Amino acid sequence: MRRTADSPEAGPPVSPWWQDAVFYQVYVRSFADSDGDGVGDLEGIRSRLGYLELLGVDALWLTPFFRSPMADHGYDVADPRDVDPLFGDLAAFDRLVADTHNHGMKITIDLVPNHTSDQHPWFQEALRAGPGSRERERYHFRDGLGPDGSTPPNNWTSVFGGPAWTRVRDGQWYLHLFAPQQPDLHWEHPDVRADLVQTLRFWLDRGVDGFRIDVAHGMAKPPGLPDMDPRAVTIMAGSNAPDFVDLRFDNDEVHDIHRLIRKVLDDYPGTMAVGEIWVDQEERFAAYVRPDELHLGFNFKLVEAEFDADSVRRAIDRSLAAVESTGSPATWTLSNHDVVRHVTRYGGGELGTRRARAMALVELALPGTTYIYNGEELGLPNVDLPDWALQDPTWERSGHTQRGRDGCRVPLPWEGEIPSYGFSRAGAAWLPMPPQWGALTVEKQLEDPESMLSLYRHALEIRKTAQGFGGDELEWYGAPPGCFAFRRKGGGLICALNTSAASVPLPPGEILLSSGPMDGNQLPPETSVWLV
């Protein structure tokens, strides 16, 4: 077991607590509802801390719960230093921080620096003050092109579809890389920087252990906001079209902002920041986790990999290469609130579940920090929601061609046989829950040693207590086609994965845990195993 700064009694150098932590992402709207309005809230989370401790995670990441008109479910922030009444209040937040710590877990929260809500007082002032005013300088307001200014100032598109510009009554346009209700801030303005520092200190003083930085590759914009090559445009931005430069993201000036964030965090020892960084190239990614910038960078290579040994191995190698010389640990994510849940990505049904089990053991065997998205420990699939239920701005912005992310955000089933399965005392949750989820509740899965939840609990327990997980490096073994096996160099744990159609011989060692039944001495298809 690695010694952390919290248990520094004796021995060699102490690693920060996040170095090999397992974070649990709480999508606040969908975790647990305490007040019966069908939407999750802070007291709901507090009431389920016992579950999270039992699961065995080290830290929580809460998605935004700040004051917001909820155009993008809280990623449109009207006041970054207050709790939205939908989720509770500051007193509820303080209770949650205290209780999370009492349960032995850390608590980290989202920070949304790229944009505000259009209802933020700054944006409202800017609208009132008119063209050329100082108030407009905190955002990117521009005149349009063409004789009557009716063409947007450049050709950028919004990540949610449509142009990245919206015209206001007086004829000027403002930039929003996401929804029109999320105007982008102008990061060269001193007020914008000062306000971020104030927000960081506000939550740090209340006891949070860190932040997840939304769109950490955004914020800085290229001088003059030139047109971009439309081929560079990708959905979650910046990742799938490596041959083209997406001028909207990953501009060098963004690193100054991360240095600013780091300086504040350095005043609060033991706190950390992880950036959401959709940047494809390893060296560009590495820049975000330099020693004076963020502690961790979210890496989405596993999210993008198919269930295929070569594809997963490439994702692992590239993720490790990206942080190799930085001193920052790799991070691993299979799902989050922006992507199709991995049971579904891997084929859905029994097949998708078997594969998800196999990948859970691969992910939890890797050196570094792991992020579990709430509900993945229950093996929840993506939900095919009816059109009327869709709320993600992507659905409207794309002219009903892209269904958006609601399918991975359906609330968690806790107990019982009918929706909302103990999520809320209201019958209806904010997104409809499928009638078949009675079999997937926490209550059912806790009793079943073969459930996905039992697999996660078991794996997390072993990861905490067994010796094999030391060291930051891997060595790869030779393996049959469609399979891989790696060994943690420092600790000795071996993890083998079979994505081929036939059973294969196991590497030598004693089995600690397997994701499914073994085939005698052989590793069956769609299965992974831990050995020492």
Kindly state the tokens that stand for 384: 């095919």
User: Least Å distance between CB 178 and ligand NOJ?
Assistant: 4
**Nearer Cβ to ligand NOJ, position 115 or 354?**
115
Residue type, position 339, single letter: V
**DSSP states of 237-305:** SSSS-TTS--TTS--TTHHHHHHHHHHHHHTSTT-EEEEE----SHHHHHGGGSTTS-SEEE--HHHH-
Active site residue 392: no
Q: Which of 21, 42, 96, 215 binds ligand NOJ (CB under 6 A)?
A: 215
Q: How far is CA 320 from CA 23, 72, 215, 326, 459, in A?
A: 19, 32, 21, 10, 22
**Nearer Cβ to ligand NOJ, position 75 or 371?**
75
360 binds ligand NOJ (CB under 6 A): no
Of 110, 118, 209, 276, the catalytic one is 276
The footprint of ligand NOJ on this chain (CB under 6 A) covers a number of residues equal to 9
> Which residues lie closer than 8 Å to 208 by C-beta, 6 or more apart?
97, 107, 108, 109, 271
**Cα Rg of the chain, angstroms:** 23
**Nearer Cβ to ligand NOJ, position 238 or 381?**
238
338 binds ligand NOJ (CB under 6 A): yes
User: Least Å distance between CB 449 and ligand NOJ?
Assistant: 34
Q: Which of 65, 75, 173, 486 binds ligand NOJ (CB under 6 A)?
A: 75
**Nearer Cβ to ligand NOJ, position 373 or 486?**
373
Active site residue 214: yes
What count of Cα atoms within 13 Å lies in the side-chain half-sphere of residue 171?
10
Of 118, 184, 214, 363, the catalytic one is 214
**Contacts of ligand NOJ in 131-150 (CB under 6 A):** none
58 binds ligand NOJ (CB under 6 A): no
Backbone angles phi, psi at 470, to 5 degrees: -75, 165
163-192 mask for ligand NOJ (x: CB under 6 A)? ---------------x--------------
**Nearer Cβ to ligand NOJ, position 112 or 523?**
112
- Secondary structure of 74-116 in HEC code, one letter for each residue: CCCCCEEEEECCCCCCHHHHHHHHHHHHHCCCEEEEEECCCEC
**Nearer Cβ to ligand NOJ, position 116 or 499?**
116
Q: Which of 72, 377, 472, 526 binds ligand NOJ (CB under 6 A)?
A: 72
User: Least Å distance between CB 404 and ligand NOJ?
Assistant: 10
Whether 8 contacts 2, CB under 8 Å: no
**Contacts of ligand NOJ in 273-332 (CB under 6 A):** 276
**Nearer Cβ to ligand NOJ, position 431 or 453?**
431
**Nearer Cβ to ligand NOJ, position 173 or 371?**
371
Gap between the Cα atoms of 110 and 210, Å rounded: 9
User: Least Å distance between CB 72 and ligand NOJ?
Assistant: 5
User: Least Å distance between CB 185 and ligand NOJ?
Assistant: 12
User: Least Å distance between CB 477 and ligand NOJ?
Assistant: 36
The residue among 203, 198, 168, 202 whose CA lies nearest residue 183 is 168
Q: Is the dihedral of CA 236, 242, 244, 249 positive or negative?
A: positive
Residue whose beta carbon is closest to ligand NOJ? 75
User: Residue 420, preceding bond cis, omega within 30 degrees?
Assistant: yes
Gap between the Cα atoms of 391 and 400, Å rounded: 11
**DSSP states of 439-483:** GG-HHHHHH-TTSHHHHHHHHHHHHHH-GGG-SS-EEEPP--TTE
User: Least Å distance between CB 214 and ligand NOJ?
Assistant: 5
DSSP 230: G
User: Least Å distance between CB 357 and ligand NOJ?
Assistant: 26
Q: Which of 20, 184, 214, 526 binds ligand NOJ (CB under 6 A)?
A: 214
Could you give the residue numbers annotated as active site? 214, 276
Interaction site with ligand NOJ (CB under 6 A): 72, 75, 112, 178, 214-215, 276, 337-338
